[in-house]
Structure 1
Amino acid sequence: MPRMETAQDVDAWFGEHGWFPGRDVAGLLPAMLAEVMEDAREKGFPLEPFGAAGDFLTEHAGLRLTIDAGRGDHLHLTPALLWHSTAGAIAELSHHLGVRLFPVGWDSSEGSPVVIDERGRFFYLHHTGDYYMGADKHEAMIALAHAPMRDAEDLYV
């Protein structure tokens, strides 16, 4: 993962992996979203995308950003429920935060889902707990590069 200090650093990192301002992959979303929604429904924790999730995914879905090339670790900006417990974990965090959440990616180095809330804030679901990444994609990626992140429970309502 390159040096990540500013929004420009984040945009440059995304740009190295195919992102550009105004990128629009809305045509890919229906299949991606349907798979996640069906999987969540089957697990008993329905998830529905909302404005902030759709907006982020329209511009970023399908990107795979290198975290550590030597280890083969990437940040996949593809909605997914990685583990059997992921939908339940998202529902629990959603309840505590008082807002809807939707998965927008995952970190292959940790097997951790990344979710966005209705306000556009990002959260990281890790086996050690849930973490607040930031108020937007720039803050979120800077936080990912500079762990530790803030505990999500600091934002519980």
Structure 2
Amino acid sequence: MPRLENARDVDAWFGDHGWFPGRDVAGLVPAMTARIVEEYGREGFPVEPFAAADAFLAEHGGLRLTIDVRRDEHLSFTPRTVWRDDPAEVAELSRGLGVRLFPVGVDSSEGSTVLVDERGRFFYLHHTGASYMGADKHEAMIALAHAPMRDAEDFFVRPDRPAGR
């Protein structure tokens, strides 16, 4: 994974893999989201795309960013189920956060799902737990490059604390 310190570094990494400002693959998004909606629904944990997920996928859908070329590890922005338990884990995380989540990608180096919430924040679902990546794609990728990330439970909605703190 390249050294990611700021938004310019993130955009350069994305650019090396086919992204450019104004990229628009919105026509592919319905097929991408339909697959994950069907997979999650079959497991009893329905999800549906929302504006933040559609917007991210319209610009970044289908990109495959190299994390480690020698180990053939990538960050792919094509939603898919990584583990059979993903739908249940996403539903549990969504309840804790008090917002809807939608899978937008996969980190093959960790076998982890990348999620976006209705506010456009990014979360990372790893077999060891869920993490908060950042408020936007730039923060999310910088956090990914500088793990460990912040625990997603820090953002759970609790009666004694407003959401997102």
- Give distance in 2, aligned partners of 1:77 and 1:149: 20
Please state how far the C-alpha of 1:31 moved relative to its aligned partner: 1.2
1:65-116, Cα deviation, whole Å (9 max, x unpaired): 0001111110001111111110111100000000000000010001100000
User: Does residue 43 of structure 1 match 2:72?
Assistant: no
- Give distance in 2, aligned partners of 1:100 and 1:5: 29
Amino acid at match of 2:147: A
Residue in 1 that maps onto 2:141: 141
Please state how far the C-alpha of 1:30 moved relative to its aligned partner: 1.4
TM-score normalised according to structure 2 size? 0.94
User: Does residue 29 of structure 1 match 2:29?
Assistant: yes
- In structure 2, stretches of 5+ residues that fail to align are 158-165
Residue in 2 that maps onto 1:86: 86
Runs of 4+ in 1 over 2 A off after TM superposition: none
Residue in 1 that maps onto 2:57: 57
Please state how far the C-alpha of 1:27 moved relative to its aligned partner: 1.1
Amino acid at match of 2:34: A
- Give distance in 1, aligned partners of 2:3 and 2:33: 32
Amino acid at match of 1:63: L
Residue in 1 that maps onto 2:11: 11
* Count of residues in Structure 1 that have an aligned counterpart in Structure 2: 157
- Give distance in 2, aligned partners of 1:107 and 1:60: 14
- Give distance in 2, aligned partners of 1:48 and 1:127: 23
User: Does residue 103 of structure 1 match 2:103?
Assistant: yes
- In structure 1, stretches of 5+ residues that fail to align are none
Please state how far the C-alpha of 1:141 moved relative to its aligned partner: 0.1
SS in 2 for 1:45: coil
Please state how far the C-alpha of 1:122 moved relative to its aligned partner: 0.3
